[in-house]
Amino acid sequence: MTDTNWTVEGRTFRTQHDYMAGCRDKKKIDQIRKKVDFNNKEELVRLQGEIEKGTITFDTMVGSDFRDEIEERAQKLKCKPAENSKKGLFRKNIANQKSTIKKPTSKKAVSQEAALEDMEDSLKKEVIQELRKREWYRKGLLALLGVVAAGSLGYFTYYYYQADKTTADVSDLAGLKNDNRFNDKEILTENTKAETKPVIDKYKTLYQLNKKLIGWVKIADTDIDYPVMQSNDEEYYLDHDFNGEKDKNGSIFMDAKCDAMTPSTNLIIYGHNMRSGKMFGSLSDYENESFYEKHKKIIFDTIYEQGTYEVMFAFRSKLYEEAEIVFKYYQFIDPVSEEEFNSDMKEMTEMSLYDTGVTASYGDKLITLSTCDNNEKNGRFVVVAKRIEE
């Protein structure tokens, strides 16, 4: 990759990771240019304020160049904050005049003061102490509620910021599918048996960016449109994104025991059930047969071949104790016999929420999409689909 020119807006980056960050900054800047009139003083001032507050952020020198451009443009337009206008000063003076007017004391306050004056000194002292305690308690409670409110607001702001960032990152990655910069090169992967297999052109660039990429999953008209990763450490992609950065959304990833090169009879793919709808947040919509009727097919490509799958089952399950003797869908990867395969099919048919009419025979290739289900402890929502020819 030393011959690749990683350049964005005149800035050259040394690594693919930095280049992707530069691409994200450029995309963000392009969106701002469409929305903001750079000849409008008020809009330019508002844009400057959002950048200074950190509402709008950039990660690379592409963003720094844009900030400098905005500052130069502001100086040319001689933009001034609204509070310096005559209208602003007039309002400020009116506010100052109002603050000097002493508000009349309420009847309740007057009666309390009169009642205190009639009390003996010892009793008056006790009453005053009690009133102070109540005031301290009230202020403390208000302060605590303020902290809780600020914390909740901060959490939800960060939560949806992460969701939006994940969407932007995945959109950038999707744009690199079918990138042809490596199409003239043979790129191979190697499995544990030291066998090699070429990566199809569609995913060569993405694979060069991260060798943990194993495929891409998509369900039309949903948020499910993500790269699929695979690691020997199955917990890694619970909280890491494609670039290896910490992200509570995690990534969609394949079970480490599955083999996409051979491939296994069943490829099991996991993803978080995010409240924002990201990752596999919309997978549980398959509990409704009406949703299934409109989303019967799942596109799942491995880095070796493209594939279309037809939904067979949608059911709820859970993570069981190791000693429990029960069908565990997450252990159904490579049945050793046709009898075992048929037995597993029977179990899932009985668990399915509705009858799709789709059946599978020994030798068919399947995928299983799995996410968390809050209906019970350690619950899981599962969708199984069979590969079909189109």
pLDDT digits (tens, 9 = 90+) for 216-251: 999 999 999 999 999 999 899 999 999 999 999 999
Task: Report, as ranges of residue numbers, the positions in the chain whose pLDDT lies below 50.
Answer: 1-3, 79-110, 159
Helix (H, G, I), strand (E, B) or coil at 40: coil
237 and 380 fall within a common domain: yes
What is the model's pTM?
Answer: 0.61
Tell me if 307 is assigned to some domain: yes
Q: How many structural domains is the chain composed of?
A: 2
- Helices 61-77 and 16-35, interaxial angle, to 10°? 30
Residue 364 located in a structural domain: yes
Question: Angle 202-10-184 (CA atoms, 0-180°, nearest 5)?
Answer: 25
Neighbours of 342 (CB within 10 A): 14
Please, how many CA atoms are within 13 Å of residue 275, restricted to the half-sphere of its CB? 6
Cβ-count burial of 385 within 10 angstroms (0-12 exposed, 13-18 middle, 19+ buried)?
buried
Buried b (16+ CB within 10 A) or exposed e, 30-44: eebeeeeeeeeeeeb
Q: Rounded distance, CA 247 to CA 271, Å?
A: 13
CB atoms within 10 A of CB 364: 15
Quick check: 356 and 312 in contact, CB under 8 A?
A: yes
Residue 335 belongs to what domain range? Answer: 210-388
Is 70 domain-assigned?
yes
**CB 169 within 8 Å of CB 24:** yes
What CATH number is attached to the domain comprising 313?
2.40.260.10
Structure tokens that stand for 206 in this block? 């993405």
Would residue 45 count as lying in a domain?
yes
Q: Which of 77, 108, 131 is the last residue of a domain?
A: 77
Residues 69 and 214 in one domain: no
- What's the pLDDT score for residue 326? 95
Is residue 318 one of the residues assigned to a domain?
yes
Q: Is residue 167 one of the residues assigned to a domain?
A: no
Which residues have C-beta within 8 Å of that of residue 222, sequence separation ≥ 6? 282, 285, 295
| Cα gap 129→44, rounded to integer Å | 55
pLDDT of residue 99: 43
Which residues have a Cβ under 8 Å from the Cβ of 104 and sit 6 or more positions away?
none
Residue 327, pLDDT score: 96
Q: How far is CA 253 from the centre of its chain?
A: 15
Has residue 159 been placed in a domain? no
Residue that is last in its domain, among 53, 77, 101:
77
- pLDDT computed for residue 90 by the predictor: 39
Q: What number of other Cβ atoms are within 10 A of residue 222's Cβ? A: 16
Nearest to 292 by CA among 336, 343, 235, 355: 355
- In a domain? residue 141: no
Of 77, 93, 124, which closes a domain? 77
Please list, in sequence order, all residues whose beta carbon lies within 8 angstroms of the beta carbon of residue 343, skipping any fewer than 6 positions away: none
Q: Please list, residue by residue across 198-216, b when 16 or more beta carbons sit within 10 angstroms of its beta carbon and e when fewer do.
A: ebbbbbbbbbbbbebbbbb
pLDDT tens-digit profile of 247-267? 999 999 999 999 999 999 999
DSSP track, 324-371: --S--GGG-SS-SSHHHHHHHHHHHHHH-SS-------TT--EEEEEE
Take residue 43 and report the two structure tokens written for it: 């809009």
pLDDT value, residue 83: 42
State the Cα–Cα distance between residues 367 and 365, nearest whole angstrom: 7
Which conformational region is residue 351 in: left (phi greater than 0), alpha (psi within -120 to 50 degrees), or beta? alpha
Give the count of alpha carbons within 13 A of 297, CB side only: 9
Report the alpha-carbon distance of residue 368 to residue 390 in Å, rounded: 20
Q: 310 φ, ψ to 5°?
A: -110, 130
pLDDT the model gives residue 16: 76
